[in-house]
Structure 1
Amino acid sequence: MPAPTGKIAVGCDPTRPVAVRSGPTASTDGTQRGVRPPDGVAIDIVTTKIRKRMLKQHEVAADTLVGSAAYALASYATATQYETLPGEVADRAKLIVFDQLACGFVGAELPAGRIIGRYVADMGGKPQSVVLGSPDRSSAPLAALANGTSGHADEFDSVHATSDFLGTGHPAAIIVPAAAALAERQFCTGRDLVNAVTLGYDVGARVISVTGGLAPMMGNHGIDPGSLHSLGAAFACARLLGLDESRHLFAAALAVQQSVALNAPYGERRHMSKAFVTGQAAYAGVTGAVLAAAGFEASDNIFEARAGSSTPGQNRAVRDSWRRISASTMR
């Protein structure tokens, strides 16, 4: 698959493009054109060979991505739109958005919400998105961090389980703050937001459920699987940005690398770092998508790679389980 070049129309407002450039042009000896080594220093032949081999592996991975389960998921994501949502699904998504925003306003008055709000205000940033419970605005990633933390500050937010009763955690506290912050930054419509949140639920819940749900990862491995909803947040944000299939997958890989959390916060005193886990996952979803839009690359296939987003000790668990879900069952 060729590296992204040129410009892409980013956001719900197509007048806000982001330049996407390929990496530095490499010459035949493996160095960057226009960049000469320091005087007196020879080019390291071993480093050059390693660089060429890594580039070749990347090309092979990209070529084999089309036809994979992950690419099918990304293709599905890029085709989603509000108009094709069943009425009851759209209504439920709207209720989830309003419920989660209300939880964020309540949580902003609690210790975790107050502290994270002050932190975000101190960090500054472009005034792109609302910080709930505050007169301040901040950059979309930092607003998602604050609102995701506040929204889970006292466990008022909704939980989710699949139809076969596999718990997947608190997706709304991650997906809604991420999607809402980026939708505001990009001047998206309410319909765009509802579609993105629905997609985020679809992806995050499926990934966690096919790895066995909350119990195995929490009980056997000490991992908080709810943080994997950062994958859903990344897909929601990538959809709002209008990214293509490969950049949806880059966004997911970049998000999950920032957000996987341990189970230890369940034993804390004041429910602060557990709330921070959801805020960090929301931040990761926004950051992953925005970086992918800017041309930042990651694993082509975090879902199916060895040691990818699988249950610890079970390489390719997501790949093997995902293939048991027929594409026809998707919305």
Structure 2
Amino acid sequence: MTEDNGNGAPRDAVFELADFAVGASFDSLPPDVIDMTKKGILDTIGVILPASTTSPETRKLVDLMLDVGGKEEATMLGFGRKIPAWHAGYVNGAMANCQDFSDLHPDAAHISSPVIPAAIAMAERIGKVNGKDFITAIALGVDLQCRLTLAAGKPGGRMAPWHPSPLFGVFSATFACAKLLNLDADQFVNALGHAFMQAAGTHEIVFGKDSTIRGFGHALPGEVGVRAALMAQAGITGVRNSLEGTAGLWNVYYQGDYDREALLGDLGHRWIVRQDGFKPWPSCGFTHVHIDMVRELTREHDLGPDDVERITVTVGDFAHGQTEPLEEWRRPTNNMLAKLSVPLAVAIAMQKGDITIRDYFDEHLTDKAVLSMADRVHSRFDPQYNFMPGSGFPGGELEIVTRDGRVLSRQQPQAYGHPKKPMSWDGLIAKFRDCATYAARPITDHDLDRATRMFRELEAVDDVSKLIALIG
């Protein structure tokens, strides 16, 4: 395809991406990319399950979808109920970040949760999709999510107002679904054009403090990905130059300021998922380095909560906004704000030794012991820990002053879960099993055992619907 993009430059990037996707196969994926993709699938499905019981908003959304009704095609994970595929993609996408627990690439943020809910729904709708094809489609979608995000957020650049998970997620989810449908290159272009017409979502879902909708930030890709691919399959023509056209994504959303090489360079060779990270704690990634430092210092010095006189966290600009005003962040008013709070995360880790999903339940946000510890948490700003898009999550410092006068300090560039301090398969399976205990539809130990084996050997699975049935 050699179409002009409308502003004099030949061949919109969308055509390059479409040609690449059509030619890609499981056999073209490097083994480490296959491994990381399988981990992303395990982790994403796992973090969806708890929302079925821990999020009141999710229950209301599910009730709305059941009231609408429709063809039973795909599973609402955790509930075991089936609804139309793109509705299921929306619900599962909405649940994917309710715990703020989904994977976290240091440079591209949440890369699996915008893609996998749509791919699951599409695979169930199609039926008898094998593990190799499922892995391939998701690897392609996740790679596009990474490339779009990195193309927009150049190292050292200004953070754009757009949130990459919903904005780029509609493209990456559509990419995966189009591959599952075995669309040709022209249909891929049409599908991405349909996705472009629904690309939206700003960082206000993070900054807005009067709403818990932040947890639903990945819902739209789950729906749009399924619908856009099906529309293209049906022969409905979409926007053709959706990325680089005169009024395409980059020119309208980013004023033409993007890195084309980051988007298209070394397709099929530079797999950004290789540097993906996974969250050991259900809170914002900016809290994790401080949680990790608390755990390390308490282990090294055999500290207990009663030993602590004062804790000082040193943060950069982004985490500073999750630390000050200090009184406000010591006592967040809802659980989504609580997951953003650096002082509260440090207090929970210090008081309880770890942080679990349950620690962010509303009834635990008024725990007197935790709040007393939060009152002992103070902050210091240091610009060396400022966040620069495309440069990875910044580190931080922690200082604990004990009641007997000791001053204990630590500095870390990364937290556990970062690709330089990675979670193992065993660690991810333990996280998955814990998440599964919160599912609205109970999952037996036998089914969990079978499911975790299937995740690890997903390329050998003849029908991924069988796996979803075990844990859905």
TM-score band, normalised by shorter chain = 0.7 to 0.9
Equivalent residue number for residue 87 of structure 2: 142
| Paired residue secondary structure (1:169) | coil
Aligned residues: 267
SS at match of 1:168: coil
Q: Which runs of 5+ in 2 are unaligned?
A: 272-472
Letter in 2 for 1:73: L
Q: 1:320: Cα distance to partner?
A: 4.2
Instruction: State which of 172, 183, 199 in structure 2 corresponds to 1:243.
Output: 183
| 1:255-295 deviations in Å (ceiling 9; x for gaps) | 23223112211134586322322011221111111111111
> Does the 8 A contact of 1:208 with 1:214 survive in 2?
no
Tell me the equivalent position of 1:193: 134
| C-alpha deviation, 1:317, in angstroms | 4.1
Q: Cα RMSD (Å) of the superposition?
A: 2.8
Cα 1:173–1:213 shift into 2, 3 Å: farther
Please give the secondary structure, in 1, of the residue aligned with 2:147. Answer: helix
Cα gap change, 1:230 to 1:259, in 2 (>3 Å): same
Question: Could you tell me how far apart the structure 1 residues matched to 2:100 and 2:58 are?
Answer: 12
- Measure how far apart 1:321 and its partner are: 4.4
Structure-1-length-normalised TM-score: 0.72
The match for 1:93 is: 37
What TM-score, normalized to structure 2?
0.52
Please tell me whether residue 172 in structure 1 is matched to residue 112 in structure 2. yes
Seen in structure 2, the aligned counterparts of structure 1 residues 182 and 69 have a Cα distance that, compared at 3 Å, is: same
Q: Which runs of 4+ in 1 moved over 6 A?
A: none
Contact 1:97 1:176 in 2 (8 A): yes
Kept after mapping to 2: 8 A contact 1:253/1:299: yes
C-alpha distance 172-322 of structure 1, shift in aligned 2 (>3 A): closer
Residue in 2 that maps onto 1:156: 101
Q: Deviations over 1:45-70 (max 9, x none)?
A: xxxxxxxxxxxxxx8669x9985533
| Structure 1 partner of 2:162 | 223
Tell me the alpha carbon deviations over residues 285-323 of structure 1, each in whole angstroms, 9 at most, x when there is no partner: 111111111111111121211231217564444584457
Letter aligned with residue 94 of structure 1: K
Counterpart amino acid of 1:175?
A: V
1:112 deviates by 3.0
Q: How does 1:32-181 map to 2 (within 5 A)?
A: 68-109=12-53, 110-161=55-106, 167-181=107-121
Q: Give, as a single letter, the amino acid of the residue that structure 2 aligns with 1:201.
A: V
Assess, with a 3 A threshold, how the Cα gap between structure 1 residues 319 and 209 changes in structure 2: closer, same or farther.
closer
Q: Which amino acid aligns with 1:95?
A: K
Alpha-carbon distance in structure 2 between the residues aligned to 1:152 and 1:231? 18
3-state DSSP class of the match of 2:50?
helix
Gaps of 5+ in 1: 2-58, 162-166
Q: Evaluate the alpha carbon distance shift between residue 271 and residue 324 of structure 1 in structure 2; reply closer, same or farther with a 3 A threshold.
A: same
Mapped pair 1:234 → 2:234 = no
Indicate which of 176, 192, 205 corresponds to 1:265. Answer: 205
Alignment partner of 1:305 out of 236, 245, 250: 245
Secondary structure of 1:130's aligned partner: strand
Instruction: Between 316-325 and 139-148, report the one with greater CA deviation.
Output: 316-325
Displacement after TM superposition at 1:203 (Å): 1.0
Q: Could you say if the C-alpha distance between residues 168 and 107 of structure 1 is closer, same or farther in structure 2, counting changes exceeding 3 Å?
A: same
How many Å apart are 1:204 and its aligned residue? 1.4
Residue pair 1:196, 1:237 contacting (<8 A) in 2 also: yes
| 1:210-251 residue CA offsets vs partner (Å, 9 max, x unmatched) | 11269957x4x4221222122111110000011111211221
Do the aligned partners of residues 130 and 212 (structure 1) sit closer, same or farther apart at CA in structure 2, a change above 3 Å counting?
same
**Letter of the structure 1 residue corresponding to residue 84 of structure 2:** S
| Deviation larger for 233-242 or 131-140 | 131-140
Secondary structure of the residue that 2:108 maps to in structure 1?
Answer: strand
Larger Rg: 2
Percentage of pairs with the same residue: 25
Query: CA distance change for structure 1 residues 106 and 65 in 2, over 3 Å: closer, same or farther?
Result: farther
1:279 pairs with 2:224 = no
Q: Relative contact order: is structure 1 or structure 2 higher (C-alpha 8 Å, sep ≥ 6)?
A: 2
